[in-house]
């Protein structure tokens, strides 16, 4: 295991400095950072998807991170504790630990350069970004959301159904989502899509919902949100669940700009693919 305090800086790539290291003492989280050649005009902190979705999106995210750096922004890709190249195991992770990972990284960024911060979340990372912001009443951070998960409960149900399907494929007795939730609540860990998950984290994710975040904890300083939604064509609108979430955010005072994109839904694919429309439209943002 790499020492948590170790910081590695790689050679510049067309004016970009790439830095890798760990942040946090109690629950070290790995980060990969792309810095512009000069002092940045802002920080972008990337919060990844959950499980295999994180791996499927890595190449595209790294491409976008380099583009941010070339545009004068320091972009940091964070691996939550127990995921990716971070310390710990996923079954040990909790939502408060992940919130602390975000806080630790933000403090480190601002200690280096005091400039605006933007949270960039993909899939579950987008919902985690909203959740984190809800605990920052004085925050002026903006949010960039790629295909956000709207309901943690629905997302967890989808994850557990993957386990049930995998059991059937191997000839084992399938389990209902209720049975799996009961086992997790009893303190067991379960393997879902190759990952060992614990009940505390799953319960916390199940409790995350954009509407509830808005109702209970959205900061008084209402955030500006750029919501990227995958659609088959620009004439189509977001699905019913996403529409309701966007309406809730706007009703709560958030400024939400919905930006449709098309191309490959990378988070669903088992092969490497690109999504040029998403990159292009993200690059057109002027913050």
| Beta carbons of 73 and 104 less than 8 angstroms apart | no
Which pair of tokens denotes residue 71? 């545009």
| Beta carbons of 50 and 124 less than 8 angstroms apart | yes
pLDDT of residue 274: 75
Locate CATH 3.40.50.1820 in the chain: 7-151+209-283
> At residue 279, what are phi and psi to the nearest 5 degrees?
-65, -45
Query: For the chain, where are the alpha helices, taking DSSP H only?
Result: 52-70, 95-112, 124-133, 152-169, 177-185, 199-206, 210-217, 240-251, 276-283
Pairing, β 117-122 against β 73-78: unpaired
Residue labelled with tokens 């309701």 = 244
Q: Highest mean pLDDT range out of 129-133, 193-197, 264-268?
A: 129-133
Average pLDDT taken over every residue of the chain: 88
The confidence band for 175, taking pLDDT boundaries of 50, 70 and 90, is: confident
Does position 130 have pLDDT exceeding 60, yes or no?
Answer: yes
For the ranges 5-19, 67-81, 166-180, 241-255, the lowest mean pLDDT is seen at 5-19
Pairwise CA distance, residues 46 & 52, whole Å: 16
Question: Which DSSP state fits 267?
Answer: G
| Beta carbons of 77 and 46 less than 8 angstroms apart | yes
Does position 141 have pLDDT exceeding 70, yes or no?
Answer: yes
The confidence band for 68, taking pLDDT boundaries of 50, 70 and 90, is: very high
Residues 166-175 have a mean pLDDT of 80
Q: Which CATH number fits domain 7-151+209-283: 1.10.3720.10, 2.60.40.10, 3.40.50.1820, 3.20.20.70?
A: 3.40.50.1820
Closest of 269, 16, 226, 7 to residue 119, by C-alpha: 226
CA 130 and chain centroid, separation: 10
Does position 146 have pLDDT exceeding 70, yes or no?
Answer: yes
Does position 3 have pLDDT exceeding 70, yes or no?
Answer: no
Give the whole-number percent of the chain exceeding pLDDT 90. 60
């Amino acid at each position: 295991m790499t020492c948590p305090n170790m910081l590695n800086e790689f050679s510049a790539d067309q004016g970009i400095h790439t830095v890798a290291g760990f942040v946090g003492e109690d629950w070290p989280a790995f980060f990969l950072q792309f810095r512009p050649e000069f002092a940045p005009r802002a920080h972008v902190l990337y919060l990844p998807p959950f499980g295999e979705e994180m791996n499927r999106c890595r190449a595209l995210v790294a491409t976008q991170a380099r583009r941010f750096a070339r545009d004068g922004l320091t972009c940091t890709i964070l691996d939550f504790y127990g995921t990716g190249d971070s310390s710990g195991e996923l079954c040990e992770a909790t939502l408060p630990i992940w919130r602390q990972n975000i806080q630790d990284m933000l403090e480190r960024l601002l200690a280096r350069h005091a400039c605006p911060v933007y949270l960039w979340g993909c899939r579950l990372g987008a919902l985690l970004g909203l959740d984190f912001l809800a605990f920052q009443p004085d925050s002026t951070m903006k949010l960039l959301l790629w295909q956000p998960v709207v309901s943690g409960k629905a997302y967890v149900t989808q994850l557990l159904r993957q386990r049930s399907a995998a059991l059937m494929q191997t000839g084992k007795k399938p389990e209902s989502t209720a049975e799996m939730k009961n086992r997790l609540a009893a303190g067991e860990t379960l393997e879902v899509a190759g990952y060992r998950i614990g009940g505390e984290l799953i319960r916390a994710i199940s409790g995350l919902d954009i509407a509830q975040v808005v109702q209970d904890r959205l900061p008084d300083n209402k955030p500006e949100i750029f919501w990227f939604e995958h659609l088959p064509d620009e004439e189509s609108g977001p699905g019913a669940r996403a529409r309701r979430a966007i309406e809730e955010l706007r009703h709560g005072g958030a400024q939400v700009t919905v930006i449709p994109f098309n191309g490959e839904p990378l988070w669903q694919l088992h092969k490497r693919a690109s999504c040029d429309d998403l990159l292009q439209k993200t690059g057109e943002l002027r913050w």
